[in-house]
Amino acid sequence: MTSHAEHDPENAWSLVVPVKPLARAKSRLAPAVGGPLRGRLALAFAEDTVAAALACPAVRDVAVVTDDPAAAAALAALGARIVPDLPAAGLNGALSHGARAVRALRPSARVAALNADLPALRPAELARVLAVAGQFPRAFLADAAEIGTTFLSASPGVELEPAFGGPSRRRHLSSGAMEIRLPDVDSVRRDVDTADDLAAAMALGVGPRTAARWVRAAG
């Protein structure tokens, strides 16, 4: 993994980002953008997410869990470590596997799971979330709809225990994770599953790869 934390790297965060095969990604976007563009947008979302995460001074490294060759190549080129999804046990299995892979190299790592579909992600906003997360054994951030989850953290020595998917905010609360309530971190909460989500992300200001894909499609 490549270190991107500029200070106190041993206390910096390792992020785990899951990326499903692009052919199956973002199915709810298909009615709005079509099948071929859907996969390309899913990759652009992941690229902008990973690039922004690596630019965050609180982040030491990013582990991407994926079995998609195109996604693996593109995200490795940005500086992410690629972890094959050996369990092939769905989203939460991939996240747990990624956290174990991180701690196999750095047992005392602070670990956080981050959605791969945050194309408007701002490094400074992510840093604010991580600063609060570091105060608790486990903490999470709800998505913009306050139903799902975009971020879940675990302090050194604490298991991640991911419960993503559907109404995961309630499940993470029930698991004992502390909910992070911060103003002005919209970019960390704005995941993209639908055309309305994409419009909201575009209004926030998406990263260059998503913007380029969308401009080419619109043109």
pLDDT category at 7 given cuts 50, 70, 90 is very low
pLDDT category at 37 given cuts 50, 70, 90 is confident
What pLDDT score was predicted for residue 28? 86
Give the predicted TM-score (pTM) of the model.
Answer: 0.93
Mean pLDDT in residue range 129-149:
98
What pLDDT score was predicted for residue 217? 60
Neighbours of 209 (CB within 10 A): 22
pLDDT, tens digit (0-9, with 9 covering 90-100), for 145-162: 999 999 999 999 999 999
- Pair 151, 114: CB distance under 8 Å: yes
pLDDT, tens digit (0-9, with 9 covering 90-100), for 46-68: 999 999 999 999 999 999 999 99
Helix residue spans in the chain (DSSP H): 30-33, 35-54, 69-78, 90-105, 123-133, 168-174, 186-189, 195-204, 208-218
Percent of the chain with pLDDT over 70: 94
DSSP 9: G
